[in-house]
Amino acid sequence: MHSAKQHRLAGYSTFLVLTAVLIGFLGAILPASAQTPTPVRGVIAGDRVRISVKEQPDMNRVYAVAGDGTIDFPLVGRIRVVDLTTEEAADLIESLLKQSYFKEANVTVEVAEFVEGGILVLGAVNSPGAHDFRGDQILTLMELIAMHGGLARGAAGTEVRIIRWKPGGSMERQIITVDVQSMMETLDFSNDQFLRPRDIVMVPSLGDVEGLTEYLVLGEAGNPGFHPYSKDLDMIRAISRAGGVSRYAKMDSVRILRPNEAGDYTAIPVDLSRLFGAADMTMNVPVLAGDIIFVPSIEQASRGQVYFLGEVKKPGPMSLPLDQRITLAKAILNSGGFTDFANTGKVKLIREGPDGSKQSLAVNVGRILKTGEFENDVPLEAGDVIIVPERIIGF
């Protein structure tokens, strides 16, 4: 059965090219009414959308779409707009405004800035690698595979996977499995998928799917890619076979993505700094056939950076971890604390508002640290600038 599949897959690269030519030819000769309509892109987390309300001009501004797919809109609160078209988002805001505040509301929504992020193509394609991509582009899975030389000999075309970040800013990803082989054989592209920035497209080989004889390492490893699975494999052996980790790896944020019965992947956190630095064998998690080990970079494993200026012992940028809530006073302690000349009672936090304006907040960090009233501490957000002024002697 394997040889038949491999024989059928051997000519996929040529078939993809012929398919693309055929589709282009049909598009040229068919009338506009018979051609597939241009798909409409939905809003993506990381976009910045411009919203205008005819009846309330002071609400007209650019709003950032957060990692959980929501925007913070005046009078209404947080609204989930991810995956909605701009017309659908406008209709939703109009209905919410009419429910409580407006007799009539006319809202327009447009994407002011599109999120950017390349797509990574891995596995059994003829030209694997990164693909530059912007959120305002429209690209399907079939088109991407064709651009990367088509499926390689022995590719499991029925099990092509799109690995996509789940909204919310966590390390979790969802898995979309697509039968590319059937689409190519039947020319029925109804199950094709539109891609998003930072997607990973993984094309397994026939042996990977049917025998589950390999595991996959992604990210900051010395030798990322597929590696042979063996019985009793654990993290020490798996990482060693993958050539260790690079100097840019965020070792305490490694995840094992393990297939579950629902068809998704369960994320298992692993702290390699504890495993290799402190010989903490509780982190030596068993690795199973079919697991994906993701070793993020320091940049990938953070929610962004904040910046300390002035009278702190360690001025400069500090990365915010994905899975922890960091507050102002505790961040200063983690950065070495204040200098002897710091005015701890007038620490200034500067933050960019949803409309791009600068907002300033004065915080008495010295009092928080002295009294232990950390309930008055301020959570930090990516892009915050913290300025600790110098204390004037005698005041």
Residue-range domains of the chain with CATH:
48-113 (3.30.1950.10), 302-388 (3.10.560.10)
Distance CA 306, CA 52 (A): 31
Q: What is the DSSP string of 112-162?
A: EE--B--EEEEESBSS-EEE--BTTS--BHHHHHHHTTSBPTTB-GGGEEE
Distance CA 111, CA 71 (A): 13
Q: What is the pLDDT of residue 4?
A: 40
The structure's pTM equals: 0.42
Distance CA 150, CA 160 (A): 12
Q: What is the pLDDT of residue 207?
A: 57
How many other β-carbons are positioned within 10 Å of the β-carbon of residue 101? 13
Please give the angle made by the CA atoms of 13, 290 and 7, to the nearest 5 degrees: 30
The CA–CA distances, whole Å, from 334 to 307, 327, 331 equal 13, 10, 5
Distance CA 21, CA 199 (A): 26
Helices (H), ranges, the chain: 2-10, 12-29, 86-100, 141-147, 180-186, 206-211, 235-241, 272-278, 328-334, 365-371
CB-CB contact of 199 with 163 (8 Å): yes
The low-confidence residues of the chain, meaning pLDDT below 70, are 1-41, 167-171, 206-212, 299-303, 322-323, 393-395
Q: What is the pLDDT of residue 286?
A: 94
Tell me which residue has tokens 């690079």.
Answer: 246
Q: What is the pLDDT of residue 103?
A: 86
Q: What is the pLDDT of residue 219?
A: 87
How many other β-carbons are positioned within 10 Å of the β-carbon of residue 211? 12
User: If you ran DSSP here, which 8-state letter would residue 252 be given?
Assistant: G
SS3 label, residue 54: coil
Greatest pairwise CA separation for the chain in angstroms: 87
Q: What is the pLDDT of residue 167?
A: 62
CB-CB contact of 332 with 308 (8 Å): yes
Distance CA 170, CA 5 (A): 38
Q: What is the pLDDT of residue 165?
A: 76
